[in-house]
Amino acid sequence: MLTTEVDALYVSRVQAARVLDCSVQMIDKMLREGRIPASYLGTTVRIAVADLKAALEPYDPKKPRGVRVPRSKQVAAKATKKRGR
């Protein structure tokens, strides 16, 4: 269970590492793999506490939790949609 240290809805990578008792590098790996979804504001990364709780469940690579779409693909999808394709 999460410690009482975390009362916020979102935490930083360092705080997430403390909560899960792992390294920041492990949090980064979990973010890259989509095991933990995150919100990005510029260079700031915030992770929802609810998503940390879900990360404590067994990981199934066939069931992605928070797959990020690269920005270039988002822009391309919008351009294609505007053209009516």
pLDDT tens across 52-67, in order? 888 877 766 666 555 5
- Which pLDDT score, from 0 to 100, does residue 35 have? 84
Select the more confidently predicted residue: 36 or 2: 36
pTM for the structure as a whole: 0.58
Average pLDDT over residues 2-24: 81
- Which pLDDT score, from 0 to 100, does residue 70 have? 56
Helix spans in the chain (H)? 13-20, 24-33, 49-55, 71-83
Instruction: Please tell me the total number of residues recorded for the chain in this structure.
Output: 85
Average pLDDT over residues 18-37: 90
